[in-house]
């Protein structure tokens, strides 16, 4: 059962960068349950009627909107904000795009591409990726963060020590995220909600999907973690583990180069096995495949592996 919220922060209270001078939209007591209305990463620019042509008209000054900020009464620098993820209310609409100039293999995929997703927001049953696959869904918020002590504005795109655009798909229902507070009140915001994503989000987008998020915001006084940390309520890949994986690897002295090798080989494998286009394979990798560091001690070469769950082809 969904926990009742103490506050609702509507989607019109959104901003597009981190800046500790942005006035808070609400002040809450520690332990309050807050519902946030969150837009998708395009700020509503892409709809269920959009085509790849619409990617070129995205306003990059308005990407990844976040709802907030929230002032947590009593939060001070040196404290930690404890965020418990209670519930998601997905919209049923999502999109995945190849955006030229963005993504791990941007040099190989220079043309825009777009896939529109239509999923059941109640059952969250696996969602069809054309005729090729069905992707299991696992909603989460890609961006949860606090204001920095350093005066802004700061871009919303890179993650930082106070959180932000973390894009960690395991920050799903039941997880608890801890963020270090750098300014009075913390000034917490959330957005960039996803219906599913692979670890790495290799093409630069997941299943980008507007949805409501219910969080409990609490304080751990006088305990500052230097970086974000989190806990999960249980296994993190049970929704995709059922049929095993196809795995490709990259071997060499550079982790980014190794990641590129692993993903490029998986794209080639999907083309050969399932007769999909290269960009379709690339986008599928982004929404359900996982990049992992398999070995980082046997110098001078490290191993990066890319895991693609066979369950999506059932």
Instruction: Give tens-digit pLDDT for 265-296.
Output: 999 999 999 999 999 999 999 999 999 999 99
Q: At what angle do helices 278-288 and 255-274 cross, to 10 degrees?
A: 120
Instruction: Give tens-digit pLDDT for 146-167.
Output: 999 999 899 999 999 999 999 9
Average pLDDT, the chain: 97
Shared domain for 255 and 162, answered yes or no, is no
Residue 163 C-beta-side C-alpha neighbours within 13 Å: 31
pLDDT reported for residue 2? 60
Shared domain for 190 and 264, answered yes or no, is no
Shared domain for 210 and 252, answered yes or no, is no
CB 291 within 8 A of CB 199: yes
Is 236 a domain residue?
no
Cβ burial 143-159 (10 Å sphere, 16+ → b, else e): bbbbbbeeeeebebeeb
pLDDT reported for residue 149? 98
Shared domain for 14 and 101, answered yes or no, is yes
Q: Is pLDDT at 314 greater than 90 in this prediction?
A: no
40 Cβ contact partners less than 8 Å away, ≥ 6 residues apart: 46, 94, 95, 192, 193, 208, 209, 210
Average pLDDT over residues 16-23: 97
123 Cβ contact partners less than 8 Å away, ≥ 6 residues apart: none
Shared domain for 191 and 277, answered yes or no, is no
Q: Is pLDDT at 224 greater than 90 in this prediction?
A: no
Q: Is pLDDT at 19 greater than 60 in this prediction?
A: yes
CB 265 within 8 A of CB 207: no
pLDDT reported for residue 256? 98
Domain that holds residue 276: 241-313
User: Number of structural domains, the chain?
Assistant: 2
pTM above 0.75, yes or no: yes
Is 144 a domain residue?
yes
Q: Is pLDDT at 1 greater than 60 in this prediction?
A: no
Shared domain for 256 and 177, answered yes or no, is no
pLDDT band of residue 201 (cuts 50, 70, 90) is: very high
pLDDT reported for residue 236? 94
Average pLDDT over residues 54-58: 96
Task: Point out the domain boundary residue: 181, 196, 231.
Answer: 231
Shared domain for 164 and 212, answered yes or no, is yes
Q: What CATH number does residue 172 fall under?
A: 2.60.120.580
Give one DSSP letter per residue of the chain, joined into a string.
-PPPPSEEE-TTSEESEE-TTSPPSEEE-TTEEEEEEE--TTTT-S-TT--GGGGGG--GGG-S-EEEEEEETT--TT-EEEEEEEEEEE-SEEEEEE-TT-STTTTT--S-EEEEEE--TTT---EEETTTEEEPP--EEEEEEE--SS-S-EESSS-BTTEEE---TT--TT-EEEEE--STTEEEEEEEEES---TT-TTS---B--EEEEEEEEEETT---SS-EEE-SS-SSTTTGGG-EEEEEEEES-HHHHHHHHHHHHHHHHHHHH---HHHHHHHHHHH-EEEEEESSSTT-EEEEEEEEGGGG-
Q: Is pLDDT at 182 greater than 90 in this prediction?
A: yes
Instruction: Give tens-digit pLDDT for 92-144.
Output: 999 999 999 999 999 999 999 999 999 999 999 999 999 999 999 999 999 99
Is 2 a domain residue?
no
The answer to whether the peptide bond before residue 148 is cis (omega within 30 degrees of 0) is: no
pLDDT reported for residue 3? 65
């Amino acid at each position: 059962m969904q926990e009742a919220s103490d506050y609702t922060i509507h989607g019109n209270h959104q901003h597009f960068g981190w800046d500790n001078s942005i006035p808070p939209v609400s002040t809450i007591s520690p332990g309050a349950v807050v519902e946030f209305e969150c837009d998708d990463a395009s700020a509503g620019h892409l709809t269920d009627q959009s085509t790849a042509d619409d990617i070129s008209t995205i306003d990059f000054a308005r990407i990844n909107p976040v709802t907030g900020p929230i002032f947590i009464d009593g939060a001070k620098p040196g404290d930690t904000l404890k965020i418990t993820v209670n519930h998601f209310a997905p919209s049923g609409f999502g999109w995945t795009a190849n955006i030229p100039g963005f993504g791990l293999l941007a040099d190989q995929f220079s043309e825009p591409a777009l896939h529109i997703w239509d999923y059941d927001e109640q059952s969250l049953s696996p969602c069809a990726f054309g005729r090729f696959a069905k992707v299991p869904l696992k909603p989460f918020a890609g961006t949860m963060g606090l204001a920095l002590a350093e005066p802004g504005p700061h871009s919303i795109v890179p993650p930082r020590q106070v959180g932000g655009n973390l894009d960690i798909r395991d920050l799903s229902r039941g997880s608890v995220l801890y963020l270090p507070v750098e300014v009075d009140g913390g000034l917490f915001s959330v957005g960039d909600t996803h219906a599913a994503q692979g670890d790495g989000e290799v093409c630069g987008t997941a299943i980008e999907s507007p949805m409501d998020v219910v969080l409990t915001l609490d304080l751990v006084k006088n305990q500052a973690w230097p970086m974000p940390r989190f806990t999960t309520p249980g296994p993190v890949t049970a929704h995709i583990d059922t049929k095993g994986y196809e795995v490709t690897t990259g071997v060499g002295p550079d982790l980014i180069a190794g990641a590129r090798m692993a993903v490029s080989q998986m794209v080639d494998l999907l083309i050969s096995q399932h007769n999909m286009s290269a960009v379709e394979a690339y986008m599928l990798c982004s929404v359900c495949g996982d990049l992992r560091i398999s070995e980082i001690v046997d110098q001078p070469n490290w191993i990066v592996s890319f895991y693609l769950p066979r369950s999506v082809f059932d």
